[in-house]
Structures are given as C-alpha cells and as structure tokens.
C-alpha cells in the first residue's frame, strides 16, 4: 500500500477523498425532485437518524473535521469541499421546497442549507454518545416544522 500511496497520511487522505466523493450519490438523491420536497427532506433526515442509531461510528468526513480539521490542511480542504457540496445540495432542496410553496420565499435558502448541514453533522456527533432515536427524531420534526410555510 505504501508503494502506491507513499505513506500513511497519503493513504488516509485518499480514503477521505474517496469517502467524500461517494457521498455525492447521497447528495444527488437529496436533490432529486419529489412530490413534496419538505417530506423528502424529512425522510432523508430520518434515514440519517436510523443510520446513526445503529452505527455510532459516525461519518468519516465529520470525524476527520473534528479530529484533524484544524491541524491538517489536506483534511481541512477535503472537509471544506464536502461541506460545500452538502450546502449546495441542501440549498437546491430548500429552493425546490420554496417553488412547491412548502417553504416561504422569505427564508434564505443558503442560510437554511447551512443550518441543515450543521444539524446533520451535529446529529451524527450526538449519536456517537447518545444515539437516542426519539430525541433525534424530535430535532428533525422541529426543524421541518420550522422550515414549513
């Protein structure tokens, strides 16, 4: 492996980049038009809740951000790129919900997207120590209700 990647850090960085790029399929699904974009958002977050309650290891990208994001420029760049892709996907989804009349046009789509990215990573972090489904579900319910027109 080291002949291919050079050292342990290069192997880790390549693994992190691959993980982040594989998440793009999830992001594409997130922005696939649905009859109700807000219901699609809720279903997406509920699938995250189900996932984090059964696998408390968390998200490799979020874990990298917490563990190495402030000390490793390669990790910081990958985390930034992954977060930016998530933010664009959530912005697109909020705009779809606005177009469907489910979210007020007065809501900043980019601001809501940043909140949703933070919620997603926060839920994954919380689940590492407290994977209580009912608690996480209440957070999702509140968030969706807050966005609804």
pLDDT digits over 108-135, tens only?
A: 999 999 999 999 988 888 887 877 899 9
Distance CA 66, CA 34 (A): 33
- Residues above pLDDT 70, as percent of the chain: 95
Looking at residues 128-145, what average pLDDT do you find?
A: 90
pLDDT in the model for residue 1: 54
Model pTM?
Answer: 0.85
Residue ranges of alpha helices (H) inside 31-132 are 37-54, 60-68, 73-99, 109-129
Question: pLDDT confidence of 91, banded at 50, 70, 90?
Answer: very high
Q: Are the beta carbons of 30 and 89 closer than 8 angstroms?
A: yes
């Amino acid at each position: 492996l080291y002949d291919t990647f050079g050292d342990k850090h290069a192997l880790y960085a390549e693994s992190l980049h691959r993980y982040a790029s594989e998440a793009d399929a999830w992001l594409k699904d997130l922005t696939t038009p649905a009859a109700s974009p807000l219901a699609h958002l809720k279903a997406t977050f509920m699938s995250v809740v189900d996932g984090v309650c059964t696998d408390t290891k968390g998200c490799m990208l979020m874990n990298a951000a917490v563990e190495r994001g402030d000390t490793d420029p390669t990790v910081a760049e990958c985390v930034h790129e992954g977060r930016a892709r998530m933010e664009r996907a959530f912005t697109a989804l909020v705009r779809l919900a606005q177009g469907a009349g489910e979210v007020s046009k007065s809501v900043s789509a980019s601001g809501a997207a940043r909140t949703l990215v933070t919620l997603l990573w926060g839920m994954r972090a919380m689940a590492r120590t407290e994977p209580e489904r009912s608690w996480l579900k209440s957070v999702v319910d509140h968030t969706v209700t807050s966005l609804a027109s």
